[in-house]
Amino acid sequence: MAGSVAALTAENQKLRHQNRDLANRLEATTDELAKVKSLFFGRASEKLSAEDRQQMRLFDEAEQTANDDENQEQAAPTESAATEVPAHTRSKPKRRPLPESLPRQEVVVDISDQDKHCKCGHELARIGQEVSERLDVIMPKVTVIRTVRPKYACHHCEGSGDEDRPAVRIAPAPPALIGKGIATPGLLAFIATAKFCDALPLYRQQSQFARIGVELPRSTMADWMLATAAACGPVMAAMQRKLRSGPVLQVDETSVQVMGEEGRANTTRSYMWVARGGPPGQPVLIYHYAPSRGAPVAAAVIGDYQGSVQTDGYKAYDRVCSRPGITHVGCWAHARRGFTDAKKAGAADQALAFIAKLYAAESRRDTYADTGQFNEARRAEVEPILEKLRAWLERKSDQVLPQSALGKAARYTLEQWPKLVRYLDSPELTPDTNAVERAIRPFVLGRKNWLFSGSPRGAAASATLYSLIETAKANHLEPYQYLRQLFEKLPLAQTPDDFANLVPRRVGS
Assess whether 424 and 438 both reside in one domain.
no
How far apart CA 196 and CA 209 sit, in angstroms, is: 17
Q: Tell me the CA distances in angstroms from 77 to 59, 266, 351, 393, 479, one per residue in order.
A: 11, 53, 17, 22, 51
90, pLDDT greater than 60 = yes
Q: Are residues 325 and 456 in the same domain?
A: yes
Positive or negative: CA dihedral 175, 180, 182, 186: negative
272 in a structural domain = yes
- Residue 259 shares a structural domain with residue 292: yes
Residue 62, pLDDT score: 38
Q: Are residues 195 and 316 in the same domain?
A: yes
CATH number, domain at 273? 3.30.420.10
| Domain total of the chain | 2
> Average pLDDT, whole number, for the chain?
85
**303/355 same-domain check:** no
Q: How do residues 347-390 score in pLDDT, each as one tens digit?
A: 788 999 999 999 999 999 989 989 899 999 999 999 999 999 99
Same domain, 353 and 212: no
Q: Label residue 509 by pLDDT band (50, 70, 90).
A: low
Asked if 373 and 289 sit in the same domain, the reply is no
264 and 399 part of one domain: no
Does the model's pTM come out above 0.85?
A: no
Backbone angle region of 260, left / alpha / beta, with phi > 0 → left and psi within -120 to 50 → alpha: left
How far, in Å, CA of 273 to CA of 300, rounded? 10
Separation between Cα atoms, residue 483 and residue 189, nearest integer Å: 5
Q: Which domain holds residue 245?
A: 172-330+433-509
- ∠ at Cα 113 (108, 119), nearest 5°? 130
pLDDT in tens, 128-161: 999 988 888 887 788 898 999 999 988 888 767 7
Q: Is residue 164 part of a domain?
A: no
Report d(CA 199, CA 216) in Å as an integer: 18
Same domain flag for 461 and 363? no
Q: Is the pLDDT of residue 83 over 50?
A: no
Q: Are residues 390 and 486 in the same domain?
A: no
DSSP secondary structure code for residue 167 in this structure? S
Task: List, for residues 297-311, the tens digit of each pLDDT value.
Answer: 999 999 999 999 999
Is the pLDDT score of 163 beyond 90? no
Three-state helix/strand/coil letters over 400-411: CCCCCHHHHHHH
189 and 299 assigned to the same domain: yes
Q: 361 with 471, same domain?
A: no
Distance CA 417, CA 410 (A): 10
